Structure 1
Amino acid sequence: MPSIEFVSLAGAVLLLISIFSSKLANKVGIPSLLFFLLTGWLIGNFGGVMLDNIEIAKFIGDFALIFILFAGGYDSHWPNIQPVLWQGLCLSTFGVFITMLLLGSFAWFILGSFSSFSLGIHGITFAEGLLLAAIVSSTDAAAVFSVLRSSRLDLKGKLQPLLELESSSNDPMAVLLTTSLISYIGAGHASWLEGGLFLVMQLTIGVVIGYGAGRGMVWLLNHLGLSSAGLYAIASIALVLLTFSAATFFKGNGFLAVYVAGVVAGNHKVVHQNYIGAFHDSFAWLMQIIMFLTLGMLSVPHKAELSALASVAVAVSLFLMFVARPLSVFISLSWSKISIKEKLLISWVGLRGSVPIVLATFPLAFGIKEAGEIFVLVSCIVVMSVLIQGFSLAPVARWLGLADKK
């Protein structure tokens, strides 16, 4: 067993590397998650620290995701999102669902067992195609705005708050669809109607418990009368974990519940509100670093088939970027007065990030067929999205005339 000195040194070095990687990423214009993943991969492949326990990786990812989603909700300010509320909600719900249907159908077409070409891996069912699509259906707020900050750009009109609302609120929908599909696939005999009812039940219970927990969190924090601001932050951690546990216990979606609780708590007056918000922002960053280092070190089954999966990853990524995402945006916002140029930019601002890679561990932990290939595909899709859309986001915004210099 390694000594405490060695563990402390290794932890300090990894955290410092991750922090400096984040600074470098902001200068280059690439989301820092790519550097975190690369650091974990280098450690796993050349540092001799390879993680081969899927359950541990999923536990770390789940725990991190709880606080990442809560922090995203807590930081959503009502005055900013109110003017674009319905557009953002349409993108984060119907948009995610349409993306899943389109991309899932495409993935099933090129990878289905009926197809004349499987592109290097075994065929998948339609449900597994939808699962792959659900995992990568959400966009990443941190990835989008780290690129905008590094490019020193502000988006014109209501684009910035709209993208902030969509990218911070579509993660729960992706989690909900992923967990529902895993339950459907795992049940084997369940019908699509049963799967749909399970989805509605998880959504309803998650929202109800999340709203109640958020109001309860506000009341309790305002009446605790603690002697230190730090104790309020610790109390908020306990309440977030309690919210997740309660929603899961009552068969709701715990991730959706903590996000809703974060939105409610963040938009009500709470004692030491700024301190609690800064604490959860820092804690969410720590969770992201730990999560990506872990996932980078993860030894995934069939990882050796990466070269065979490369062509599939390219095809799925391009379809997502140029077909599924744009169609989902234009369909979801067909009723709004948003201009075609703005819709085109929203379509391109679809960077994938932390949540898809965490969700990709769910099929592994549940023993879903082809889970190893799905994990590798999702990792490749995220990397391609960050590289292609991340580098081109600022030029596209300028080309469409929707960018202002800071």
Structure 2
Amino acid sequence: MATAEVSGMDPVMAFALVGALGVGSQWLAWRLRMPAIVLMLAAGLIVGPGLGLLNPAEQFGSMLGPMVAIAVAIILFEGGLTLNAHSLSDAATGVKRLVVVGAPLGWIASTAALHYVAGLSWEASAVFGGIMIVTGPTVIAPLLRQAKLSKRPAALLQWEAIVNDPVGALAAVLAFEVVVVLQTATSVGEAVQALALGMAVATVLGIAAGWGVARAFRLAYVPEYMKVPVLFVVLLGVFALADSVLHESGLLTVTIMGIWIANAHLPSYVELRRFKEHATVLLVSGVFILLAAGMSVELLKSLDWRAAAFVASVILLARPLPVLVALAFSNVPWRERLLVAFTGPRGVVLVAVAGLFGERLVALGIEDAGRIPPLAFALVAATVVLHGFTLTPVAKLLGLTASNAPGVMILGGSRWSVALAQALQKLDLPVIIADPNHAHLRAAREAGVETYFGDILSEAAEDRLDLVAYEKLICATDNDAYNTFVATDLAPEFGRDNVFQIKRVKQTSTRHALPPTLGGRAIGSDMTYFEAGAAISEGKEFRVTTLTEEFTLDDWRAEHPDASPVAELGPNGQLRLLGPKTEIKGGVGARLVALSQARPERAES
């Protein structure tokens, strides 16, 4: 461990430092548009083995192990909670193959790479190889947003990461259970009996806990404000109970519990999942900082040529071969197969779970398992940095990128929406109009604007709409309540600054008034749906103007005093939707979209 003096920092200060580093790294990564795991890795290594400010083993003592174990249990429960059978059944053939065929082959290939290249024992290789098939959904998502891949390869990578998250954790847990039993049992018969008993108890407890929670929530035995606390208490209870029967079987229990709840179709599932996602971000960040800070200089120096060869073998063989075999003779084009095969960034979950299992295996007498944490760090750092810098150029080389321009999704097929969409298309921006009423989309289809018929909050929309291509959302249907609901629900997806809504009709009765804190930002001159429609009917149109050195922003304002600016595309290609109080930046090359009176020749026609 780090040898620097650390006695000056008490456990409370150390705990606060871990939280600040984890969340701070996540925020800074968002600002810099880079994977958060790289910054967390650097922060943990700097304050740990680098400066010696944080030494988790000394500052948290005997509580460090239980803290990490509980955090990993919640992380694995979150992974199980994402495994929805309906989502898997609706997934494309390529995704099914990556999970059903690719995951087992990936486990075998990773285990072989660990044993023959890294030099680990079969026991350590089998456990670490299981969790290595997880490609990191928390890492894939920002990479996809940055690269802006075409819809199908993006869906393949995203769904593989989501579904393989619990599958990989489950594989590692099962392998670990086998190792535990084989190491502690005195005979083969006793080993088989202990393994069967432990797995049976873990499975029964997981199913029973999931069924009990789902039934209690569905029948309103638990009030809304207590659902999340009850869920976490049950989670910790079954984790501890299963562990008392067979050491570490609690991880299998909580994973099964999460899978059961994910498929129970609970009305409050979305709220539960959103809250646990927030908790998981905090826990994953904390665990990663703790594990990185707990690395010793000696352990880092143990990363020799075999570690480099292991990372190379995973990137060049253990990842591509299982993917190519799984997608062989499928309807996935060869270029997409290549991109998916050579894109496999690992994430924080890999390091967190690998670190825990490494410690447990060492405690069982498998000494070389102590090399698992540094190998996990090396693999994560190498794959995240590699794919973070190469995914976009490789995708462009293969012709698999969507438009680099910022897309806009408009909800509602009114004349105002169609006119705005046509103006945005003149800026070469991807635009789509969605409406649950098919008749409302007729004008958009006739105008050549891409449309989506259906509710964008439905599960079908999740599968068919490529939200990665759109960074702005404008809710402009004739139903203010629906606009508000959609804007509020999708704000976490797009970012609250990127969600806009047409002005709501002012209600004189408080009975019908919607809370002002809900909904999206105002757009344009803040007109209601009916005022916007009337403006188009009265001859107004959206006009696009390019600012130059000769025709400045002041010139434009003088020539169009009554114009209502709606959007601005900067010289750098950045799109800004404008509200009634938003200042226009302008500049040479900026292009403005504004609602103004139509030209005389058009008005007459």
* TM bracket, shorter-chain basis: 0.7 to 0.9
Q: Render the CA deviation track for 1:349-393: whole Å, top value 9, x for unaligned.
A: 322122332323323332421233332222212211211123323
Once the two structures are superposed, the pairs formed by residues 7-406 of structure 1 within 5 Å of their partners are: 11-12=15-16, 14-45=18-49, 46-52=51-57, 56-84=63-91, 88=95, 91-92=98-99, 94-110=101-117, 112=119, 124-153=120-149, 155-156=151-152, 158-159=155-156, 162-180=159-177, 182-183=179-180, 186-187=183-184, 206=202, 209-227=205-223, 229-248=224-243, 251=246, 253-270=249-266, 272-300=268-296, 303-304=297-298, 306-334=300-328, 336-358=330-352, 359-365=354-360, 366=363, 367-405=365-403, 406=469
Relative to structure 1, the CA distance from residue 12 to residue 374 in structure 2 (aligned partners, 3 Å threshold; closer, same or farther) is closer
Deviation at 1:202, TM superposition (A): 6.5
Specify the SS of the correspondent of 2:206: helix
Relative to structure 1, the CA distance from residue 216 to residue 172 in structure 2 (aligned partners, 3 Å threshold; closer, same or farther) is same
Q: What one-letter code is carried by the residue in structure 2 that aligns with 1:349?
A: T
Q: Does 1 or 2 have the higher relative contact order (CA < 8 Å, sep 6+)? A: 1
TM-score (normalised: structure 1): 0.79
Deviation at 1:197, TM superposition (A): 9.0
CA distance in 2, matches of 1:30, 1:200: 45
Deviation at 1:66, TM superposition (A): 1.7
Contact 1:30 1:387 in 2 (8 A): no
CA distance in 1, matches of 2:195, 2:96: 17
Specify the SS of the correspondent of 1:309: coil
Q: What one-letter code is carried by the residue in structure 2 that aligns with 1:100?
A: W
Relative to structure 1, the CA distance from residue 170 to residue 305 in structure 2 (aligned partners, 3 Å threshold; closer, same or farther) is same
Contact 1:342 1:402 in 2 (8 A): yes
Greater strand fraction, Structure 1 or Structure 2: 2
CA distance in 2, matches of 1:289, 1:27: 17
| Higher radius of gyration, 1 or 2 | 2
Specify the SS of the correspondent of 2:345: coil
Greater helix fraction, Structure 1 or Structure 2: 1
Q: Which runs of 5+ in 2 are unaligned?
A: 1-5, 404-468, 470-605
Q: What one-letter code is carried by the residue in structure 1 that aligns with 2:55?
A: M
Deviation at 1:235, TM superposition (A): 0.6
CA distance in 1, matches of 2:310, 2:112: 11
Deviation at 1:21, TM superposition (A): 1.8
CA distance in 2, matches of 1:253, 1:136: 20
CA distance in 2, matches of 1:385, 1:196: 38
Relative to structure 1, the CA distance from residue 130 to residue 292 in structure 2 (aligned partners, 3 Å threshold; closer, same or farther) is same
Q: Render the CA deviation track for 1:216-258: whole Å, top value 9, x for unaligned.
A: 211112334445x331110111122234345545659433432
Q: Render the CA deviation track for 1:297-321: whole Å, top value 9, x for unaligned.
A: 2145xx4153452322211011111
Deviation at 1:323, TM superposition (A): 0.4
Deviation at 1:90, TM superposition (A): 5.3
TM-score (normalised: structure 2): 0.56
Q: What one-letter code is carried by the residue in structure 2 that aligns with 1:327?
A: L
Q: Render the CA deviation track for 1:283-306: whole Å, top value 9, x for unaligned.
A: 111111221121122145xx4153
Contact 2:43 2:289 in 1 (8 A): yes
Q: Which runs of 5+ in 1 are unaligned?
A: 113-123
Specify the SS of the correspondent of 2:402: strand
Q: What one-letter code is carried by the residue in structure 2 that aligns with 1:162?
A: W
What is the count of residue pairs matched by the alignment?
388
Identity %: 21
CA distance in 1, matches of 2:128, 2:265: 40
Q: Render the CA deviation track for 1:33-64: whole Å, top value 9, x for unaligned.
A: 23223222222231432123696444333211
Contact 1:135 1:360 in 2 (8 A): no
Deviation at 1:200, TM superposition (A): 7.8
